[in-house]
Structure 1
Amino acid sequence: MVSKAGCNYFLYVTLGLVALLMALFLSGCWDRREINELAFLSSMAVDLAGEQRILTYEFVRPGATGGGERGGGGTLPHRQATLRSGRGETLISACRQITTGLPRRVYLAHTNAVLVGEEMARQGLRELLDFIDRHPELRRTTLIMLTRGPSREVLIKAQGDIETTLGKEISGLRKWVQSSGYGFIPNVNDVFFDLTNGAGTTVLPVLELSPQPFPPLIGTGASSSSGGSRETGGTTGRVEEPRTVRTVRLNGAGIFYHDKLVEWLDKYQARGWAWVRNKVRRAVLALRCQENNTKVAVDITEAHADVSVDMQGGQLQGKIKLRVEGELLEQQCNLDFTREEAIKSLESQMAARITAEISSALNQAKMVGTDVFGFGSALHRQQPELWRQLQGRWNEEFKKLPVTINVEAKLRRTGMTGRPWQPGAR
């Protein structure tokens, strides 16, 4: 029979061992990472040159403050970032080459965006998507975009005039670009979903350099006894010549079949695709006012599309139904758009313009047999048995698929006023 003292001794030993094990395995500092030892990645560019993969990293510059600086000589704005580039036969080897010249550990978890060069896109996104999905720090929420030509050219030459890094600029761009109707920026997870669903196609927006004027500065002059205008602080009022800053913008998109780039869309075709895929949040249509070749601007405030595939007379028939609502924001003529006939005419123009954009994008996609509009997915939902029969040759079926486009447009408001203002009118 075990004594009470023996039981207590056994209990104390057990508790001591448990505490020791907890101290060994539950320590909070075994994998610590000091911030001042990390290089935070903001964006990256991925290119292909022959058999070599080229990675260009944009790191947040340590201790960076604010945006670009302006000195007395009118210094152009610049990003608060530093760039590093490496190359190798694989993406990971290119990444490791960068680390050989970096005094900090690369930290990828805060990567905002990935830019894919044209050559890399034509070979295929498979390698890049695999690299992102396997890496423990990279996330599927990372934004992904396309460039015409090498993506490193855009990453290196872009000058940020609002945000401190190009990665932050792209993140901000994604929030507001859909208000134009021409832009959309997907993340890596969106691309995975598109390529593993239905026809296995996706669309990536194109990012390009966009030269913009840089505000001139008032030149500094020495004090003079001669007459002449002076500004406060000893300036002469001489204005320097305006200069140019290279910002970035979205312009068109690329069509991918499976993971390979096969065709381009211009900005109007990209918006035509976006109408059908419900990517348009707001858009502006410049339409004829039917008076001295003047224009009227309609702001689209709501748009919703449905895609379906029906069997009619033994043949598949694709259908696109789009409902849009808009508001009159500007007119250059004196036409009264409070009258019903004027409203109907404008609604007809709205529908015709949107139909033309959709038709142009549809023809471009049919030319390469790439169903980026979701007809294959619609057929899969509606008739799964028929889809299984056609899935293997759907790209050829899509080329000859007749599609009807029905756009219903409504002008809901005329802004804060009704009839147009005219000189002398009360």
Structure 2
Amino acid sequence: MKRSVVLLLFFFVTLVFITGCWNRRELNDLAIAVGMGIDKSGDQYLVTAQVVDPGEVAAKGGSGRAPVTTYQQTGKTVLEALRKMTTLAPRKIYASHLRMLVIGESLAKDGMAKVLDLLSRDQELRTDFYIVVAKGTKAENILKILSPLEKIPANKMFSSLETSEKLWAPTVSITLDELISDLTSEGKQSALTGIRIKGSQEQGEMKKNVEEIDALGRLQYAGIAVFKKDKLVGWLNETESKGYTDLTDKLDGTILNVPCTKGGNVGIEVIRSKTDVKGKVKNGKPKVEVKIQTEANVAEVECGHLDLKKTKTIYDLETKLEKEVKDHCEASIRKAKKLGTDIFGFGEAVHRGAPRYWKKNKKHWDKNFIDLPVEIKVEAKIRRIGTIGNSFLEDVKK
């Protein structure tokens, strides 16, 4: 009897702590934002939210409405602008499913750190969304472009960034946690992928844009935005961006072209890459050594005279590939030194290798970085030449 009473009391006490979904949110009361853009508007922020129309996305045939809509408001803070959107939107903007955050180029030049505080502080927001910079335009314009294949433009931007990073390389997918880590690090500056509108912005905003075979307005990732502290100071081009991803050990795969002796190119597909960066101090001066190990396959041959069955041919291709990788890295370093910002984390490497030197010189690292000697060693190995041996092009000429 006593045992039954004790169990009953334990049951009731447990119920006090199991209160259920006391702070639940009904889907019918929320406007789910999948994309957000922040621009500068005078001394205020212009915030744009790309919100999903659930009825249109779920409908099989569709009602003819756009799958997303955008809401905009200005405010002295990002939160104020979001709250003011309730005067336009029928529901509260809910950003827990945010996929993309787009920073306007003008805001990036002025400094973006302040607008990131809300995003890192709000308990409703996850931090697994990607952050990019609108190149040559405003963030609001990026979020208004309708995209083919993917109904929701923010999902297209998310998937395209991941795919491009894995297969092409001049792009990097940076989350909020990674960005804040770079902004607060003493030996590394931040860098974000740029996104631009290719074609007509006006046509890209119309539903007709996704009804045409060749869309008149598209979103395209282009270059990497380079920051000094939290301010945009310049852009890396395609070649320099490939060098950046290699130097920061973020290169998963890409295509590189090496020249043939008698004209034409050999397309080399990089399938794996590993980068090791070490910093040291010699005679009171810092130095960085970079070792890159690259594995690749022969993907395309434009020169018929090339005999891929010979070991010497493969060795020559590996040597040319090593030079190509090294050239990309050196081009990226030159641009970063010109802009005066260490986006590669060489300062962190020096900190690890020579902590005493770093403690004395970390305040002047931006100046020291400009004259920093960087030794790059590339070791390339070609693993496969494809399903055929020598190219048939020589026979075609005959």
Does the aligned pair in 1 maintain the 2:295–2:381 contact within 8 Å?
A: yes
Aligned to 1:298: 268
Say which SS state the counterpart of residue 196 (structure 2) adopts: strand
Does the aligned pair in 2 maintain the 1:67–1:162 contact within 8 Å?
A: no
Change (3 A) 1:281 1:386: same
1:97 to 84, 102, 105: 84
Deviation at 1:363, TM superposition (A): 0.9
1-structure distance, mates of 2:396, 2:107 = 63
Deviation at 1:332, TM superposition (A): 1.3
Does the aligned pair in 2 maintain the 1:255–1:261 contact within 8 Å?
A: yes
Aligned to 2:207: none
Aligned to 1:165: 152
- Structure showing greater radius of gyration is 1
What's the CA shift string for 1:307-353, capped at 9, x where partnerless? 12222333222222111121111111111122233222222221121
1:184 to 166, 172, 179: 172
Bigger shift: 342-351 or 108-117?
Answer: 342-351
Deviation at 1:211, TM superposition (A): 3.9
Q: Which amino acid is 2:187 matched to?
A: A
Deviation at 1:171, TM superposition (A): 2.3
Deviation at 1:298, TM superposition (A): 0.6
Aligned to 2:187: 199
1-structure distance, mates of 2:316, 2:127 = 46
Change (3 A) 1:271 1:15: same
Deviation at 1:103, TM superposition (A): 1.0
Q: Which amino acid is 1:108 matched to?
A: A
1-structure distance, mates of 2:379, 2:139 = 40
Aligned to 1:260: 231
Consecutive unaligned residues of structure 1, counting only runs of 5 or more, are 215-239
2-structure distance, mates of 1:274, 1:368 = 18
1:333 to 268, 282, 303: 303
Change (3 A) 1:146 1:69: farther
Q: What is the 5 A alignment of 1:367-406? A: 367-406=338-377
Matched, 1:136 2:107: no
Does the aligned pair in 1 maintain the 2:36–2:50 contact within 8 Å?
A: yes
Change (3 A) 1:424 1:29: closer
Q: What is the 5 A alignment of 1:7-406? A: 19=12, 26-28=18-20, 30-65=22-57, 80-148=67-135, 149-156=137-144, 158-178=145-165, 179-211=167-199, 243-291=214-262, 293-334=263-304, 335-406=306-377
Say which SS state the counterpart of residue 64 (structure 1) adopts: helix
Deviation at 1:105, TM superposition (A): 1.9
Change (3 A) 1:99 1:313: same
2-structure distance, mates of 1:45, 1:191 = 16
Q: How does the TM-score come out when normalised to structure 1?
A: 0.82
Q: Which amino acid is 1:184 matched to?
A: V
Q: If each structure's helix is expressed as a fraction of its own residues, which one has the higher value? A: 2
2-structure distance, mates of 1:176, 1:379 = 33
Consecutive unaligned residues of structure 2, counting only runs of 5 or more, are 204-210
Among the aligned pairs, what percent are the same residue? 27
Does the aligned pair in 2 maintain the 1:67–1:79 contact within 8 Å?
A: no
Does the aligned pair in 2 maintain the 1:198–1:380 contact within 8 Å?
A: no
1-structure distance, mates of 2:14, 2:59 = 47
2-structure distance, mates of 1:15, 1:375 = 62
Say which SS state the counterpart of residue 158 (structure 2) adopts: helix
Deviation at 1:279, TM superposition (A): 1.1
Deviation at 1:290, TM superposition (A): 2.0
Change (3 A) 1:261 1:67: farther
What's the CA shift string for 1:175-224, capped at 9, x where partnerless? 31121122221110111222222324111000112349x9xxxxxxxxxx
What's the CA shift string for 1:344-394, capped at 9, x where partnerless? 222222112111111111011111221111111111111111111111110
Say which SS state the counterpart of residue 279 (structure 2) adopts: strand
Deviation at 1:401, TM superposition (A): 0.8
Q: Which amino acid is 1:302 matched to?
A: R
1-structure distance, mates of 2:86, 2:62 = 33
2-structure distance, mates of 1:308, 1:286 = 29
Aligned to 1:218: none
Q: Which amino acid is 1:92 matched to?
A: L
Question: How large is the RMSD of aligned CA atoms in angstroms?
Answer: 3.0
